[in-house]
Amino acid sequence: MSVKGWISLKIRRYIANNMQEALLKVKMDLGPDAVILNTRKMKRPGMFSFLRSPLIEVLASLEEEENEGKEIVEASNAKVEQLENKVHNMEEMLAKIYKQMSERPVESVKSTGEKNSSDSSNIYHVFVDNMRQNDVEESVISDIVQALRQKGIDNNSSMNEAFSIFQKELISRLGVSQGIVPEENKKPKVIMFLGPTGVGKTTTLAKLAANFMIKEKKKVGMITADTYRIAAVEQLKTYSEIMGTSITVIYSPKEMKDAIKKHSEDDLILIDTPGKSHKNKKHFDEIKEIVRAAEPDETYLLISATTKMKDCREIIKAYSFIDNYKLIFTKIDETSSLGVVLNVKEITGKPLSYVTTGQSVPDDIEMIDVENLSKKLLGNS
């Protein structure tokens, strides 16, 4: 039972390589008011774990005033369980596909307009149906099927062989994921993040900054031009204080050059930009000025995985003034359909990069695993 005004205790468990990393994770997730409840050393997994330093487990808590209708938050391993639920091996996926085949008659693939009652047509139908359920666009599906027919799935192709051919085609189309790589001979490396309002640029920037500082021991500076949202500026300031890094706020594109010079000793400069509507020409022209002033070494366009394809096309068109950029997909945890990743990749031809899987900083971000993504698009949901 929940009562308005109650104080709840949010308890979280963190595992890190050392105490410094553990405390940073606690502060980034729960904030500076978090209280450490317990710490202990954990044996690393693996045969030769005795040769390596132990992991650190930290239990931390934060008191919160409960709103009416909310339950008291208890400690759990929900994140671990969620990841475990997503892990399926090939045998499980193939069993699902075999079941699908046994439950439907042999049909031709509608997107190709061909009439074919062979076993291979049924195999096509299963994988095509799974891509449709993932909201892969019909034009993309048609291109894939046409390409594979030319490569030749025939009556002698087994289910395993057919899956392998489909997966190789998807992996080829998705390409190799590319992330930020600091360069010793390029300091500082300037990275800019662009995207519509509410896509999660500020949080994504903070996750990447924390990861580079924790895992790669890099000096990271932050610049924000998103002065239209006071909350965004304050959010980044809070993160910078916790991480012990510097942040510069600019109020016009003219200030960008000087802001970058202030961070000349950093390895990376991550630039947050306003989430302007691509439908507002005046405001969007300001984004173009910011990009021109910064002259970033790399640019990342963020798109929410929950965005409708009609809106995705408008966003892509609006940012077409950028010659080279990489794609980050946010809020992947808020949708069960992953076709938007393949669709946008096909439309833009730009490299895939990161995907965000939740709100936790710095944990919920990772490089897009194209092999795993291809399996899910073909039915491993």
Q: How many CB atoms lie within 10 A of CB 41?
A: 11
Query: Which residue, chain included where needed, has tokens 């006071």?
Result: 230
Cβ atoms 280, 203 nearer than 8 A: no
Q: In this structure, what are the phi and psi dihedrals at residue 86, rounded to the nearest 5 degrees?
A: -85, -15
Q: Mind listing the pLDDT tens digit of every residue in the chain (381 residues)?
A: 444 455 566 788 888 888 878 888 888 888 877 887 778 888 877 655 556 778 888 888 887 655 544 444 444 455 555 555 554 445 555 556 555 555 554 343 444 444 343 444 566 788 889 999 999 999 999 999 888 888 766 555 677 788 888 999 999 999 999 999 998 887 899 999 999 988 999 899 999 999 999 888 999 999 998 766 667 778 888 888 888 888 999 988 999 999 999 999 999 999 999 876 666 777 788 889 999 999 999 999 999 999 999 999 999 999 999 989 999 999 999 998 999 999 999 999 999 999 999 888 888 999 999 999 999 999 865
- Taking the whole predicted model, whether its pTM rises above 0.75 is answered as no
Mapped onto helix, strand or coil, the DSSP state of residue 335 is coil
225: which DSSP letter? -
Q: Would you say domain 189-377 falls under CATH 3.40.50.300?
A: yes
Compute the distance between CA of residue 294 and CA of residue 270 in angstroms, rounded to an integer: 11
Which H or E run contains 15? Answer: strand 7-16
Contact 62, 36 (CB under 8 A): no
Where are the domains positioned within the chain?
7-76, 86-174, 189-377
Indicate left, alpha or beta for 46 from its phi (over 0: left) and psi (-120 to 50: alpha).
left
Structure tokens at 15: 């595992």
- Measure the CA–CA gap between 75 and 14, rounded to whole angstroms: 11
- Beta strand 246-249 with 220-224: parallel, antiparallel or unpaired? parallel
What are the backbone angles phi and psi of residue 190, rounded to the nearest 5°? Answer: -95, 125
User: What's the rounded Cα separation, in Å, for the pair 119 and 155?
Assistant: 6
Question: Which two three-digit tokens encode residue 325?
Answer: 């950029």
Instruction: Report the helix count and the strand count for the chain, using DSSP H and E.
Output: 13, 11
